[in-house]
Amino acid sequence: MGIFLHDIGKVRELSFDRVFGYTNEGQLVGHIVIGVEMLDVQVAKVPELTGEPFPTEMLLRLKHMIVSHHGTYEFGSPRLPMTPEAIALHYLDNLDAKVHSFTRDIREDRGSQSSAWTPYNPSMQRRLFKGTVAGAEGEVTPAAEGGE
């Protein structure tokens, strides 16, 4: 369940009026805190709906997944992942972001339509292979050109 809820706060953090932006709440509080608040509101309704309280440990684990999914303090996590499901969520979220970054850079590369490679990206410390360009099969790219 935590994998579906970890970014739920983004529905209130972000706004859309022709372009994406941040709401005042999003700018001041952020999606992690908003997400925990949203979870608390829904969990408070469970006893009325089911006649039973929401399981305490499950609530703690879900909150932990929300607050730890960025993985490290320097990337905005208030807590480090401390359960198997929280560390799995962090790595899946990180993998998703990296794959998205790769595919976006390949899709948006307008630099050289004739090259099978993107330009060297210093933040990724690599060029990305876009695929073989028609007529360029077997072409060898000199290492010096790649910036490595």
- Model pLDDT, residue 139: 53
142: number of CA atoms within 13 Å, CB side? 2
Residue-by-residue DSSP string for the chain:
-HHHHTTTTHHHHEEEESEEEE-HHHHHT-HHHHHHHHHHHHHHHHHHHHSSPPPHHHHHHHHHHHHHTT-SGGGT-SS---SHHHHHHHHHHHHHHHHHHHHHHHHH--S-TT-SBPPPBTTTTB--B--PPTT-TTPPPPHHHHT-
- Model pLDDT, residue 88: 98
pLDDT band at 136 (very low <50, low <70, confident <90, very high): low
Q: CB under 8 Å to 3, separation ≥6 — which residues?
A: 65, 89, 92
pLDDT digits (tens, 9 = 90+) for 22-80: 999 999 999 999 999 999 999 999 999 999 999 999 999 999 999 999 999 999 999 99
- Model pLDDT, residue 148: 47
Tell me the percentage of the chain whose pLDDT exceeds 70.
Answer: 88
- Model pLDDT, residue 144: 43
Rg for the chain, CA atoms, rounded = 21
